[in-house]
Structure 1
Amino acid sequence: MKYNIKSCIPIFFVFIISACNNETKKLPILGQREPIEKIVNGKTVVDTIYQTIPNFSFMNQDSIIINNDSLSKSIYVADFFFTSCPSICPIMSKNMLSIYNKFKGNEEVKFLSHTIDPKHDTIPVLKKYATKLGVSSKQWHFLLGDKDTVYQLAKTGYMSFTAEDNKAPGGITHSGYFLLIDKEKRIRGAYDGTDETQVKQLMEDMDVLLNEYKTKN
């Protein structure tokens, strides 16, 4: 069988363009932003300060302190849950597990699940929950912290809704979003953790974000 070289050239360029697009694609930076003026080479330029995740310090299921410094070299996915949640949390945990399994072993990727029911979700409870899910690596941290601190972090840091509600299943209402955070602690994406299509998009966007750092080096 003979191939027409000229007819293959357009297809070849399509692949080249597609590859370039994947390499140069960047995710947006979400949250509040503030323009500031600064002097660069004697000229006044406008720069942008983006919202970042505030400093925090919580204990994980292995009684290890996790804070901003622990994540300085990693992107991560964060969510808010509680182990006795009878509604969306089991679905979220199942979908987060799929993401965890894809990136398991990648030291540049971490997962943070903040309990919003610290009275019940003690360290042993969180450890049991993690073990039941099959989480054995140091990538996925189930975090315990003071309730007021966690609720405030959810609201102001992650733009996530959490509140006590006697009418809600389990007595707590909260958003089911997964938040993608970059190494600079900026929010790069928000995804419905109960929606498989959005979870798939999150995994694709994580690859994009990792490639963003790869091309910088």
Structure 2
Amino acid sequence: MFSVINYSTLVLMAVFVAACSSSENRLPIYGERDTVTKEVDGKTVTDTVYYQIPPFQYTNQDSLPVSDKTFAGKIYVADFFFTSCPTICPKMKTQMKRVFDKFKGNPDIMLLSYTIDPRHDTPAVLKEFATSLGVTGQQWQFATGPKEEIFKTGKSYMVVAQDDAGAPGGLLHSGHFVLVDKEKHVRGMYDGTTEEGADRLMADLNRLLAEYEKK
């Protein structure tokens, strides 16, 4: 069974996978792996099964359901934030807006921002926040729902999202952007507070798009 692993472990695992796939210039696949043995044409075949983001369902900025099905067949970038965050969130949203502007209108790419303060961040608040960023349409989804469920979802992306009385705003979350491919595999993690991190993400989005063009 798959389980969430700590960040240092997943980095080591990603490096290992990257080394194994460098000849194809493919992005690494993060997370634990499992093996499945089956019979194919009378022969025993062992396949590698990679960690996938599990199903989820929340409510978006338009008060409509947003779930893993919304992103079926899409590459997407996920992050965690809250609209009243006084520290890293403004930097993160500045960088995510750069990503949005670069890939705006690309049917293969979506963005997903989960709020970790659902009590304040209602759909109406998220809608106002999206509008203030100049975001319209469905390519960038903002999700809200039960806080403990969102915290659990954060772990599934291998990032921190939790209450913390000692943190500004009483909430603590990772500043990472998480790149997810069309098969729900985590393919990259980036510092969402810096231009350099966003630039790496955008370069890797192009690499991932190229991977699918070769298939």
* TM-score for both structures, normalised by structure 2: 0.87
Q: Which residue of 1 aligns with 2:199?
A: 200
Partners of 1:89 and 1:70 in 2: CA distance: 24
Alignment length, in residue pairs?
193
Q: Which residue of 2 aligns with 1:74?
A: 74
Q: How does 1:98-117 map to 2 (within 5 A)?
A: 98-117=98-117
Partners of 1:70 and 1:162 in 2: CA distance: 22
Q: Which residue of 2 aligns with 1:143?
A: 143
Name the amino acid aligned to 2:117. Answer: D
Name the amino acid aligned to 1:124. Answer: A
Partners of 1:201 and 1:83 in 2: CA distance: 25
Q: Are the equivalent residues in 1 in contact too, given 2:176–2:189 (CA < 8 A)?
A: yes
Q: Which residue of 1 aligns with 2:176?
A: 177
Is the partner of 2:47 in helix, strand or coil? strand
Is the partner of 2:121 in helix, strand or coil? coil
| Larger CA Rg, structure 1 vs 2 | 1
Partners of 2:182 and 2:51 in 1: CA distance: 13
Partners of 1:47 and 1:204 in 2: CA distance: 30
Shift in Å at residue 41 of structure 1?
A: 2.6
Is the partner of 2:178 in helix, strand or coil? strand
Shift in Å at residue 40 of structure 1?
A: 2.4
After TM superposition, the structure 1 stretch with the greater mean CA deviation from structure 2, 189-198 or 99-108, is 189-198
Partners of 2:138 and 2:168 in 1: CA distance: 31
Is the partner of 2:189 in helix, strand or coil? strand
Q: How does 1:25-64 map to 2 (within 5 A)?
A: 25-64=25-64
Q: Are the equivalent residues in 1 in contact too, given 2:33–2:48 (CA < 8 A)?
A: yes
Q: Which residue of 1 aligns with 2:10?
A: none
Shift in Å at residue 30 of structure 1?
A: 0.4
Name the amino acid aligned to 1:159. Answer: M
Name the amino acid aligned to 2:174. Answer: S
Partners of 1:89 and 1:138 in 2: CA distance: 21
Q: Which residue of 1 aligns with 2:127?
A: 127
After TM superposition, the structure 1 stretch with the greater mean CA deviation from structure 2, 31-40 or 187-196, is 31-40
Shift in Å at residue 137 of structure 1?
A: 2.2
Partners of 1:66 and 1:213 in 2: CA distance: 25
Is the partner of 2:196 in helix, strand or coil? helix
Structure 1 runs (4+) greater than 3 angstroms displaced: none
Q: Percent identity?
A: 51
Is the partner of 1:137 in helix, strand or coil? coil
Name the amino acid aligned to 1:25. Answer: N
- The Cα RMSD (Å) is 1.3
Is the partner of 1:145 in helix, strand or coil? coil
Partners of 1:84 and 1:68 in 2: CA distance: 26
Q: Deviations over 1:91-133 (max 9, x none)?
A: 0000000000000000110000000000000111100100001
Is the partner of 2:38 in helix, strand or coil? strand
Q: Deviations over 1:195-214 (max 9, x none)?
A: 22121111010011111111
Name stretches of at least 5 consecutive residues in structure 2 with no aligned partner. 1-23
Partners of 1:116 and 1:206 in 2: CA distance: 25
Partners of 2:46 and 2:136 in 1: CA distance: 46
Is the partner of 1:45 in helix, strand or coil? strand
Partners of 1:196 and 1:33 in 2: CA distance: 32
Name stretches of at least 5 consecutive residues in structure 1 with no aligned partner. 1-23
After TM superposition, the structure 1 stretch with the greater mean CA deviation from structure 2, 103-112 or 195-204, is 195-204
Partners of 2:172 and 2:207 in 1: CA distance: 32
After TM superposition, the structure 1 stretch with the greater mean CA deviation from structure 2, 207-216 or 125-134, is 207-216
